[in-house]
Amino acid sequence: MFKEYFKYYKRINSLEHQSNVIDFENVDVNEIIKYKELKTASCNNEKEKLDGLGLKNDLSDWRCYEISNIPGLIFISNPFTPCGQKYWMKRCIVDYTKKPNRLNIDAHHYIDVEENWWTTVNNTGNIKLRDQLRWATLGYHHDWDTKVYSESAKSEFPSDLYQLSKTIIELLKFPEEFIAEAAIVNFYHPSSTLSGHIDHSEYNLSAPLLSISFGLSAIFLIGGHSLNDKPTAILLRSGDTIIMSRESRLSYHGVPKILLSENDRKIKYENEWEFNLKNYMKVTRININVRQVNNAIRS
């Protein structure tokens, strides 16, 4: 059933007449969709911490939901400020594409050793190179062939992304500490899809998986532990964040459609560098998914 729904949503060109897609900007809270309570952040230090991570510092502005028929799935409707969105876009595009992080284009030697992907693209105007970037891996580098994490394939995990992930999980009142150890930054284009799959390479499968989207909107499809289970379709806009925990942590999920017509929540771009960013994000969806790999607690 998952594959049939995936094919259906892959063929659509807009959300018109797609009443089965959950849009959390226009959703009625009911017995299926419920508000998720957050931990309070009242003191100035906590609000400064949220500010520093590009998050809205007034938690009354956060809208978090749970879906009762997908146990453990939490949806946060864009907890980022406009400046925060630009900060994380820049980190993904400019910084997380640098060494020692690994890219899908590394083996092709497209980039001058004295430069990096973003600099090369802007200096050369090479649209083909721009669109060939599909993923970057951080921390423990995901092995796409073996699906196994290795201590010999690991670099330092970005401290800001570590803190962002830890803070969001804490605000959601998870009982265990979340240790961000690996991330895949995916770069989607309008024709891109992500087939239905389960993320089960991590040694710790009880820890939640954090997924953050920026740029173009997308339809996210999540089912159950079998491809025969009927999936639910959710609209993801720029800044929207999903946490998969409990039963949903091992549920089939994928992205059948990137929606080119959906805007980026009217983010303002103010200088030449930001206009380059804007032009890239007009044709790109970025997804950061962060995982805890091990059971051991960091000392």
pLDDT tens string 9-28: 999 888 887 888 999 988 88
> In angstroms, how far is the first alpha carbon of the chain from the final one?
44
pLDDT at 237: 94
- Of 210, 200, 206, the closest CA to residue 168 belongs to 210
Which pLDDT score is estimated for 149?
A: 82
> Would you state the structure tokens that stand for residue 104, as one six-digit string?
């899908």
Residue 6 amino acid letter: F
Q: List all residues 6 or more positions away from 277 whose beta carbon is below 8 Å from its beta carbon.
A: 86, 89, 90, 93, 269
How many CB atoms sit inside 10 A of residue 2's CB? Answer: 23
Q: Which two tokens stand for residue 133?
A: 């970037």
Is residue 253 part of an annotated ligand binding site? yes
What phi-psi label fits residue 265: left (phi over 0), alpha (psi between -120 and 50 degrees) or beta? left
What are the structure tokens assigned to 56, written together? 């809205």
DSSP letters along 235-270, please?
EE-TT-EEEE-GGGGGS-EEEEEEETTS--TT----
pLDDT for 256: 95
CA distance 89 to 277: 8
Are the CB atoms for 104 and 267 separated by under 8 Å? no
199 is in an annotated binding site: yes
Give pLDDT, residue 112.
60
Phi, psi for residue 165 in degrees, rounded to 5:
-65, -45
Is residue 51 a known part of a binding site? no
DSSP-derived 3-state class of residue 82 = helix
pLDDT at 299: 41
| Domain 1-291 annotated CATH 2.60.120.590 | yes
The two three-digit tokens of residue 81, written as one number: 């400020």
Query: What residues does each domain of the chain span?
Result: 1-291
Q: What is the C-alpha separation between 152 and 140, in angstroms, rounded?
A: 9
Segments of the chain scoring below 50 in pLDDT = 298-299
Cα–Cα dist 117/120, whole Å: 5
Residue 40 has a pLDDT of 73
Taking the model in full, what pTM does it have?
0.91
